[in-house]
Structure formats: structure tokens, C-alpha cells
């Protein structure tokens, strides 16, 4: 797809044309009622799924493994079993909307920051002009009759010019405040990750749902923002998903892509991973790394027979590694990172003192 004139050059698709996408667990419709039979009358009764889970009651067991997987996918991912797939929609804006709706990572839009600021500057200068007119009117009125500025009713009996100007200023202030709030709301949104924008652009490039002029909107990658804030560990998840695409194979797709996501599109280049399963897998990895960061320095200090300077260096390196991992893999604030790092270092120093005491 050729870039539109004046547009930023779009990201270059991979050499092999492969496009990898990622999925969300969220859905707009969910079946929450199931049907059971009364033990005495054997008449069907509708029971809410959430109520049964609250009471700790088990759900009816499906008759075959496919039904079990479908029911598991519904309860785990929160998605409807009978929802329309991406391919059910005609190619064009309908299918593009279905793709964006299939994953929260695809919920991106243009900020139009340049246009917001142009309108903001225009409204701002309109108010400057009206402000100047009001100040000139005040000076003229003061020279003619300064009592007119002390009594609004007296002035309005003679002329309605000031009231009309004030009403115009009020209208422009509303427009100005509106554009300020809109600009602020878009400015607070996080910039869309380049990987998510590239996935959407690759799909548009490969499937051509839009004409060239309208598809060029997606070429402005630096102007796109994420509608949904990234979850905790989102940065770490972005490392896991490409690894699954490259090295996971069929086993990885079976484990991390629910059945209803696999059947949502016939495009083999689109892989809609389960956010819940990816999140669980990343939590397991982070838990393992946390245990390693705690036990590795303890073992290193215990087996090291070198002088105290080497042991202090070990504590420093592992404390630094812990602080970096906490800052990059979580959304901890600065004071939380500082407090956790101090506590981690204190544990290692106390252990060093305990193993050094008997030797001294």
C-alpha cells in the first residue's frame, strides 16, 4: 500500500508477510443462565451461573470434550459462544470494526493532536480579540460617564452593546473550554504501542478493507493513542506473545488461543491469544524470577569465602537487579520501588551479618 501524499511512511511489514495479532478476553455478551431439572418434578429450572459459583455449586458436565472446551472458554474468557466471527462481517469498515473489537490491544485511534491545537489556538485568539474590545469599551465608557461602569442597569437602559459583547464572550468561552477539555482528555491517553499499531496496519495492508486514501489514516503511527490503558505487566506480556508466535508452535496455539478465538477468522496470520492465559503465564514467570532474586544472592553469600568486599559487591549487584526488575515488570511508583529496594537490601545485609558473626 502506497502512503498518502504528505503522510508518514507506514511501518514495513515483515519480509515473509507474516502478521501476528493478539487477543482480548473481553466480550460484550455473555450467557449467564443454565438450565437444570428439579429433583422432584423433573421440570426445567433456570439457574444463574454466577449465583451457582457464589454458592460453590458445580456446573453441569457437557457431553463431549468439545463442549467442555467451549464452556471453559466462555467461563475463562468471558466471551459468548455464539458471537459473530470476524469473517462473518463483509470486507470493509464492518470487518475492520470487528477486528478492532476482537482485542483490547487493537482499540487505538488517532489523537489528531495537530488539529486539536489548531482549534485551541484559534479559539484562544478569538477570545483575545473580544477581550480587547471589552477593554476599549470600558475605557470609552469611563471617559464619557464613569458612573455607567458602576450601574449595569443604567447602562443597559441606554445601550445594549456591552450585553451583546458579554454574551459573545460567554459563547466563545464555552467553545474554548470545550476544546481545552477535549485536548486534555486525548493528551492523557497513552500512546499506542508500535507493535499494536503495526499489527492493525499489517491486517489492513494484507486484507485491503479500505480504499487507499482512507486507509492512509493508519499511516500516522505517532498520532495513535490507546483507548484502553495497558494492564500491569503489559510490557512483559509483549515479550511473551512474540515468543509464543515464533517458538510456541501448535502446542502454544492450543494452550494460549481459545477455540472460539481460533475459529473467529480463517486468516492464519491472525492469532488471537487469550489475555487471561498470557497474564497467568507471565505471573508464573515473575513469581519464579522473584524467588530467584531472593535465593540466588543468599546462596552466593553463603558459599563465597572471599573477603567482605566481594560479598558487598554481590549485594549491590542483586539489589540493583531487583530494583530494575521491579521498575520494568510492574507499575510500581517511585516511592514503592524505593521502599521495596531498601527492604530487599536490608534482608541481604542482615543475612550477611548472620553468616559473618560466627566466623568473627
From residue 58, how far is each of 52, 62, 67, 159 by CA, in Å?
7, 12, 16, 80
Residue 115 half-sphere exposure, CB side, CA atoms within 13 Å?
6
For residue 132, pLDDT beyond 80: yes
How many angstroms separate the CA atoms of 241 and 248, rounded? Answer: 9
Question: Strand 44-48 to strand 33-37: parallel, antiparallel, or no bridges (unpaired)?
Answer: antiparallel
- Average pLDDT in the 205-211 region? 89
For residue 42, pLDDT beyond 70: no
* Residue 346, C-alpha cell as written in the block: 536490608
CB-based contact 297:275 (threshold 8 Å) = no
Return the higher-pLDDT residue of 100 and 4.
Answer: 100
- Average pLDDT in the 16-32 region? 39
Q: Which of 213, 251, 198, 214 is nearest to 18 (CA)?
A: 198
78, 84, 86, 90 alpha-carbon torsion, rounded to 10°: -160
Q: pLDDT grade, residue 220 (50/70/90)?
A: confident
| DSSP-derived 3-state class of residue 124 | helix
**pLDDT tens per residue, range 186-198:** 999 988 888 889 8
In the chain, where are the structural domains located?
Answer: 113-187, 278-356
For residue 47, pLDDT beyond 80: no
Question: What end-to-end distance do the CA atoms of the chain give, in Å?
Answer: 74
User: What pLDDT does 342 receive?
Assistant: 92
Amino acid at each position: 500500500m502506497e502512503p498518502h501524499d504528505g503522510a508518514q511512511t507506514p511501518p514495513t511489514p515483515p519480509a515473509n508477510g507474516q502478521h501476528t495479532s493478539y487477543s482480548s478476553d473481553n466480550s460484550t455478551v455473555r450467557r449467564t443462565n443454565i438450565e437444570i431439572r428439579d429433583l422432584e418434578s423433573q421440570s426445567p429450572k433456570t439457574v444463574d451461573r454466577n449465583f451457582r459459583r457464589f454458592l460453590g455449586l458445580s456446573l453441569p458436565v457437557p457431553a463431549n470434550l468439545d463442549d467442555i472446551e467451549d464452556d471453559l472458554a466462555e467461563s475463562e474468557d468471558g466471551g459468548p459462544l455464539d458471537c459473530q466471527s470476524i469473517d462473518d462481517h463483509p470486507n470493509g469498515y464492518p470487518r475492520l470494526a470487528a477486528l478492532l473489537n476482537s482485542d483490547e490491544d487493537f482499540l487505538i485511534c488517532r489523537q489528531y493532536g495537530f488539529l486539536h491545537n489548531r482549534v485551541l489556538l484559534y479559539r484562544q485568539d478569538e477570545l483575545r480579540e473580544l477581550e480587547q474590545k471589552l477593554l476599549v469599551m470600558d475605557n470609552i465608557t469611563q471617559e464619557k460617564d464613569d458612573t455607567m461602569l458602576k450601574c449595569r442597569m443604567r447602562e443597559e437602559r441606554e445601550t445594549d452593546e456591552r450585553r451583546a459583547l458579554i454574551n459573545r464572550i460567554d459563547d466563545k468561552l464555552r467553545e474554548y473550554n470545550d476544546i481545552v477539555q477535549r485536548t486534555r482528555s486525548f493528551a492523557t491517553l497513552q500512546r499506542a504501542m508500535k507493535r499494536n499499531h503495526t499489527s492493525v496496519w499489517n491486517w489492513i495492508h494484507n486484507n485491503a478493507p479500505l480504499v487507499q486514501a482512507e486507509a492512509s489514516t493508519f499511516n500516522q503511527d505517532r498520532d495513535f493513542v490507546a483507548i484502553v490503558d495497558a494492564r500491569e505487566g503489559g510490557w512483559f506480556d509483549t515479550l511473551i506473545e512474540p515468543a509464543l508466535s515464533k517458538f510456541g508452535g501448535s502446542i502454544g496455539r492450543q494452550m494460549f488461543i481459545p477455540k472460539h478465538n481460533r475459529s473467529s477468522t480463517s486468516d492464519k496470520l491472525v492469532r488471537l491469544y487469550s489475555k487471561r492465559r498470557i497474564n497467568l503465564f507471565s505471573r508464573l514467570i515473575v513469581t519464579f524470577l522473584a524467588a530467584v532474586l531472593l535465593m540466588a544472592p543468599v546462596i552466593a553469600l553463603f558459599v563465597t569465602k572471599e573477603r567482605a568486599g566481594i560479598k558487598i559487591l554481590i549485594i549491590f549487584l542483586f539489589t540493583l537487579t531487583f530494583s530494575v526488575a521491579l521498575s520494568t515488570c510492574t507499575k510500581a511508583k517511585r516511592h514503592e520501588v524505593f521502599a521495596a529496594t531498601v527492604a530487599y537490601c536490608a534482608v541481604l545485609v542482615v543475612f550477611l551479618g548472620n553468616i559473618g558473626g560466627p566466623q568473627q
